[in-house]
Amino acid sequence: MTGVRHDDPVDFDPYRGELVAYCYRMLGSFHEAEDLVQETLLRAWKARDRYDPARASVRTWLYRIATNVCLTALEGRGRRPLPSGLGAPSGDPGAPLVPALDVPWLEPFPDARFDVEARADLRLAWVAAVQVLPARQRAVLVLREVLAFTAAEVAEQLGTTVAAVNSALQRARAALVDVGDAGAITEPDDPEVRAVVRRYVQAFEAADVPALVRLLADDAVLEMPPVPLWYRGSQDYGRFMERVFEMRGTGWGMRALTANGQPALAAYAPGPGGVHRVHTLQVFTVTDGRIAHNVVFADPRVFDGFELPREIPSDDFRRER
């Protein structure tokens, strides 16, 4: 094999963002994805003299290494769920909010930090569904359907046959048939979506629960990992929001961003000392002009991944209103 000499420049950095997105789709954890990409690039650097450009592009070669790294990391692992994937919805908006810290919850993806294409396949619902697949099926689905590698390339990356790749892809597609059409979910920069999110911000900051409820689909889902509870229906959603404002007070501040190619909000609760403190990151699914799903993340590691300041002067929110 004709390899790359140690003194030949091989620039891996342009592939970092898409590799992080790939490892995230495989693992369901942004933080693990970053670590696995670091390991991937380290392995590639150490093996650069064995890379043969006549056999594969740098990108294909890197994905082969990343796939092996991900499959090793997934050995013996359970899936990363959302609360809605673990059981029936709660019928009691006053139930105790006890976090299940032993569950490796699905994490959101801070897509604004990376130049990543195919954001429809970063949707939280899609990534959560993919977590149910066996690891090799998961890899085949992402490599073929999202990243558009050929069956032959995927077979090479996985050390298997084209027939086995096609069979795994067929089984993975069948398992995800109920996930829904990503095209039915509008993009966060769609004017109608921006208007819905803006009205949600106004209602939330005013602690106006009836206004919040009017923005919801009738069967809207609210879930909040690491608390394993979740609610379905605008009525229970509204009753839970009444509880939130009773517990944490009014006068919240919100900052708009995106996550998983979806609109998102960082919610800051009023605190002592003239500051608002970050409370949750909320990721929305908006369909037909209504909020159909809100996944509310309260894990501080999520805040770090999105580089959210822990405190913001309260005056900043007052000036924005």
CATH number, domain containing residue 266: 3.10.450.50
Q: What are the tokens at 90?
A: 């709660």
Residues 232 and 95 in one domain: no
Residue with tokens 């609360």: 83
Residues 35 and 128 in one domain: yes
The SS3 of residue 231 is: strand
Per DSSP, the residues of 253-307 read: EEEEEEETTEEEEEEEEEETTTEEEEEEEEEEEEETTEEEEEEEE--HHHHHHTT
pLDDT, position 114: 80
Residues 288 and 215 in one domain: yes
Residues 152 and 244 in one domain: no
pLDDT, position 49: 85
Q: 135 lies in a domain?
A: yes
Domain count, the chain: 2
Q: How far is CA 262 from the centre of its chain?
A: 9
Output the CA angle 52-53-56, nearest 5 degrees.
95
pLDDT, position 93: 87
Residues 305 and 259 in one domain: yes
pLDDT, position 185: 58
The last residue of a domain, from among 151, 182, 213? 182
Q: 5 lies in a domain?
A: no
pLDDT, position 88: 94
Q: 137 lies in a domain?
A: yes
**pLDDT < 50 regions, the chain:** 1-2, 4-6, 182-183
Q: From its phi and psi, is residue 108 left (phi > 0), alpha (psi between -120 and 50) or beta?
A: beta
pLDDT, position 1: 40
Q: 188 lies in a domain?
A: yes
CA dist 21 and 238 (Å) reads 34
CB-CB neighbours of 296 under 10 Å: 19
Is residue 183 within 8 A of residue 256, CB to CB? The reply is: no
What are 216-263's pLDDT values in tens digits? 999 999 999 999 999 999 999 999 999 999 999 999 999 999 999 999
Is residue 183 within 8 A of residue 141, CB to CB? The reply is: no
Which domain does 143 fall in, by range?
13-182
CA dist 46 and 50 (Å) reads 9
Per DSSP, the residues of 20-32 read: HHHHHHHHS-HHH
The last residue of a domain, from among 182, 206, 231? 182
Q: What are the tokens at 99?
A: 């976090």
Q: 71 lies in a domain?
A: yes
Residues 138 and 37 in one domain: yes
Residues 28 and 92 in one domain: yes
pLDDT, position 121: 81
Model confidence pTM above 0.85: yes
Residue closest to 142 by CA, chosen among 116, 115, 173, 112: 173
Residues in contact with 222: Cβ distance below 8 Å, sequence separation at least 6, in sequence order: 230, 231, 236, 237, 240, 293, 294, 296
